[in-house]
Structure 1
Amino acid sequence: MSAAATAQDWDPGIYHRFRGHRLRPAMDLLRAVGPLPDGGIVDLGCGSGAAGPALARLGRTLTGVDLSPAMLDKARATGAYATLVEADLARWSAPDPVALIFSNAVLHWLPDHAALLPRLAAMLAPGGTLAVQLPHQNNALSHRLWVSLADEMFPGRVDLAQIPGILLPAEYHRILSELGHVSLWETEYYQDLDPATDGHPVRRFTEATFARPILAPLDDSERRALIAAYEAVIGKGYPDGPTGRVLFPFRRLFFTLTT
């Protein structure tokens, strides 16, 4: 991801609390990848390497790219990657054509997809595939609430340009259809979140990713105030059951481009 998005390094422990929910879309994306030409595989925004073992089973040289040193340390421990590269994804380029660029839940942190996606497609070998999964949840209460509360409580403090977002599906289709064969779809996952002793499960899930650039500019007391305000409301939209579990619908956008 970009340097702006990682002004504070990611916490693998917080992120891994929901590892299973985040891994399932990656596996669904991988299952949509067809036959590949000769060449290596790039796990673009590899994070902690959760998808690495599955990608390594394709039998190709696997390179992981990420900007977070803490996440790359976790990825290294999987043993799945031949090479790990610390780089800003907005500027990284493959040294040689590759068979697959696999990007799970990271490109929404990067700007200007109309320029980014053709640049990535140009790194593919003939017949290669760009496979991407993006959260498509910004219009849901879980995400809108962070933005509206921050704007109400701390007007002007949050840079809205740093909040991750994506284009409309039709816009992706328009950009990609000029580059090769496109397959594009959405899935809404009904995630059964475990009870959390330290807050509402939806707050804990979103705090680890989407809310990072919203919380980052605030000092400790301001963060506590914003989190308390979020906690006071979020249970009305996502009520817990008798055991404290919460059913959390989460929409994701997928596409593959084969050149």
Structure 2
Amino acid sequence: MPAAPTWDPAQYLRHAGHRARPFTDLLARVPDLPGDPPRIADLGCGPGNATALIAARWPTARITGYDNAPEMLTRAREHAGPTPGGGRIGFAHADVRTWTPDAPCDLIVSNATLQWVPGHAGRFAEWIACLAPGGTLAFQVPGNFGAPSHRLMRDLAASPRWRDRLAGVLRHDDAVLTPEAYLARLTALGCAADVWETTYVHLLQGEDPVLDWVMGTGLRPVLDALAAEPGAREEFLAEYGAALREAYPAGPYGTPFPFRRVFAVARKEG
């Protein structure tokens, strides 16, 4: 299994507005929670900016954001403490592959994290068992692994110039399931499930904006693999950036960047 990537919170947050939109849409579809105040776990909280959106949706909630990246947790803790609605946000180190709560949750939510967890659907039964009656498991994952941004990355990594350094670094086919497969898994566990997909067309600004975007997320394993070779790293970025400029040409108002995402909201029987 590839090692967990090293994260750069500042790079990730360069497109924070666009990245937060799917999470806002996910939270809007979560039904009423049974707890008062609700207890919420945010799996893969990253730099904490999305965790703060949970407090806006449930002002009295007791929210804990979990992540295994020290860089992200350091940034996330800027959002820790009491919330204006009387709730509280905290953060803790945890590995999503093994995490279970120490008390029943009203909501377990995850934003663009599970694609990094091989076999994550195998954890659904345990997480749903940890929900309070009437609680919800909700997540969204990128569904764009066939898009030029990812296909070009994989093709370049597999080319003769790079394959010795980058073999096995990038995942694809098993990163996420289809919407139909998620629906089947969740309904088989006795949940009332709502699964859908949305393609956002982000209008990005700046020079090489698609490269700038993926440097905060999908390209992290490549950047890690080439970290000890700065010259090679810059060579890869130059070649990949040129391919991205051709695949995503700039328009008069910015660079359109279509991005498909898959959403699931599964409510446990009360």
Flag whether TM exceeds 0.5 (same fold).
yes
Q: Bigger shift: 26-35 or 66-75? A: 66-75
> Which residue of structure 1 lines up, in the alignment, with residue 33 of structure 2?
36
2:19 to 5, 22, 39: 22
Letter of the 1:63 partner, please give it. T
Q: CA deviation at 1:161?
A: 6.4
1:173 to 166, 169, 183: 183
Q: Which runs of 5+ in 2 are unaligned?
A: none
> Which residue of structure 1 lines up, in the alignment, with residue 194 of structure 2?
183
Which residues of 2 match residues 68-147 of structure 1 at below 5 A? 68-79=69-80, 81-147=88-154
Q: State the distance in 1 between where 2:222 and 2:77 align.
A: 29
RMSD (CA atoms): 1.8
Task: Please give the per-residue CA displacement for 1:104-138, whole angstroms capped at 9, x wherever unaligned.
Answer: 10011001123122222222111110110101111
> Which residue of structure 1 lines up, in the alignment, with residue 248 of structure 2?
238
Q: CA deviation at 1:143?
A: 0.8
2:165 to 153, 157, 165: 157
Q: What is the DSSP-based 3-state SS (H/G/I as helix, E as strand, rest coil) of the residue aligned with 1:221?
A: helix
Task: Please give the per-residue CA displacement for 1:192-243, whole angstroms capped at 9, x wherever unaligned.
Answer: 10113xxx11111012101111232122222111111112221121101246
Which residues of 2 match residues 223-234 of structure 1 at below 5 A? 223-234=233-244
Task: Please give the per-residue CA displacement for 1:139-193, whole angstroms capped at 9, x wherever unaligned.
Answer: 0001110110011021143353653621122211121111211100001111010
Any conservation in 2 of the 1:99–1:128 contact (CA below 8 Å)? Answer: yes
Q: State the distance in 1 between where 2:204 and 2:53 align.
A: 24
Q: Identify if the C-alpha distance between structure 1 residues 169 and 258 changes in structure 2 by more than 3 Å, giving closer, same or farther.
A: same
Q: State the distance in 2 between where 1:123 and 1:157 align.
A: 41
Q: What is the DSSP-based 3-state SS (H/G/I as helix, E as strand, rest coil) of the residue aligned with 2:158?
A: helix
> Which residue of structure 2 lines up, in the alignment, with residue 204 of structure 1?
212
Q: What is the DSSP-based 3-state SS (H/G/I as helix, E as strand, rest coil) of the residue aligned with 2:194?
A: strand
Letter of the 1:187 partner, please give it. T
Task: Please give the per-residue CA displacement for 1:3-43, whole angstroms capped at 9, x wherever unaligned.
Answer: 9323x2x1111001000000011100000101111140011
1:250 is the counterpart of 2:250: no
Q: State the distance in 2 between where 1:111 and 1:105 align.
A: 14
Q: Give aligned-pair identity as a percent.
A: 39
Q: Normalization by structure 1: what TM-score?
A: 0.91
Q: State the distance in 2 between where 1:254 and 1:76 align.
A: 27
Q: How many residues align?
A: 252
Any conservation in 1 of the 2:46–2:76 contact (CA below 8 Å)? Answer: yes
Letter of the 1:86 partner, please give it. H
Q: Which runs of 5+ in 1 are unaligned?
A: none
Q: Normalization by structure 2: what TM-score?
A: 0.88
Any conservation in 2 of the 1:238–1:248 contact (CA below 8 Å)? Answer: yes
